[in-house]
Structure 1
């Protein structure tokens, strides 16, 4: 068995004296692991860092085997990302989200999103909105997508202001007014069809509380998991940087 694909490195763990097991998100083969012989060498270590985009050749005798990777550089982002606290937490958080998706399930959409986010993960103006949209995409992939296109009660598409914690569907400001204390705020930049790239601090906080609620209820708690530490680290580091910029 052999295939060639592009991938972004999510992490690596030691294997034996000189090798590593490399974890990548690939364009056509989903999240995929493989052995890199000599991966702990001085020459290979800088290449096998989270956030780097690489060309991969995977070989194995049988499809279900771990297999071995041959790795060549395409875009080395790790040095840039390691210089930014939000990027360090961010790449860890993105990897944690991708580990919720079944291994080797192809998902070109998540890969393309990951590639875009990696390019801007050290930008405090863009990183937050990009990551929270990625969280929405992962919830969708896991079968818990939110319907933010129209009001669950009236079908209206304008003046959406809340999300029902029960259904995950949007509600207009007027229809939701009697129950606003039980509903989750819907930041305008997350609305279906929205193109806003930069979110205000309050809206960003509301967005992370929104996605965090559905991750905890639908994903983490049923699987007996805790929210990744990297998520809190990313949100806190982002808030600090944005506060310093004011």
Structure 2
């Protein structure tokens, strides 16, 4: 068995005396692991870092084996990421999110969005909007999407402003107004019609995605939210004031 693809390194761990198992995200083969012989040598020290893009060749005797990776550099971002605490935290969070995906299950849109955010040097607001949309897509592709197609009460497709924390169904402002203290706001960045200032909109959007990530993914898997997430969100939001 053999394939070749471009991939984003999202995790590494030591194996034996001198090998490394790398975890990568590819468009064609999804989240995929493989062994790199000699991966702990100086030759690979700068290459096998999360956030780097590499050209991968994977070989294994059988499809369900771990297999071996041959790795060549495409874009070594790790050193530049270290120069910006915010961009480093963003990279770490994106990698942690991608590691939630089933192994070897292709998610080309998530891969493309994660790659674009690694390469984008835009300001905080653009990064914040891209990240919260990425979290929304992650929920959708894991089968826990927030239903913003129509109002759960009236069936209307326009004017959706709130989301139920239990069902993930959206409702219009009129239908949700009596219960708004128990509902999540659905800001425009996530397809809602609730008008808010920039900082409040981003905060509300991350509050919404964070709730459903915890409800459907982190809690059932007995995982804690990524440690860098809250600090990153606060930094992005503070930059909007």
Same fold (TM over 0.5): yes
Equivalent in the alignment of 1:175: 175
Distance 1:189 1:131 in 2: 11
Q: CA deviation at 1:234?
A: 2.0
Q: CA deviation at 1:123?
A: 3.8
Runs of 5+ unmatched residues, structure 2: none
* Pairing 1:228–2:218 present: no
Equivalent in the alignment of 1:196: none
Could you report, residue by residue, the CA deviation over 1:39-85 in whole angstroms, capped at 9, with x for unpaired residues?
A: 22223211111111111000111111111111112222222222121
Equivalent in the alignment of 1:71: 71
Count residues with an aligned counterpart.
Answer: 238
Matches within 5 A, 1:11-50: 11-50=11-50
CA, structure 1 residues 121+146, in 2 after alignment: closer, same or farther (shift >3 Å)?
A: farther
Equivalent in the alignment of 2:164: 164
Q: CA deviation at 1:214?
A: 0.8
Distance 2:66 2:122 in 1: 33
Q: CA deviation at 1:159?
A: 2.3
CA, structure 1 residues 122+54, in 2 after alignment: closer, same or farther (shift >3 Å)?
A: farther
Equivalent in the alignment of 1:7: 7
TM-score of the pair, normalised by structure 2: 0.91
Equivalent in the alignment of 1:195: none
Q: Does the 8 Å contact 1:132/1:208 carry over to 2?
A: yes
Runs of 5+ unmatched residues, structure 1: 193-198
Matches within 5 A, 1:1-246: 1-120=1-120, 123-191=123-191, 200-240=198-238, 242=239
Distance 2:104 2:129 in 1: 27
Q: CA deviation at 1:25?
A: 0.4
TM-score of the pair, normalised by structure 1: 0.89
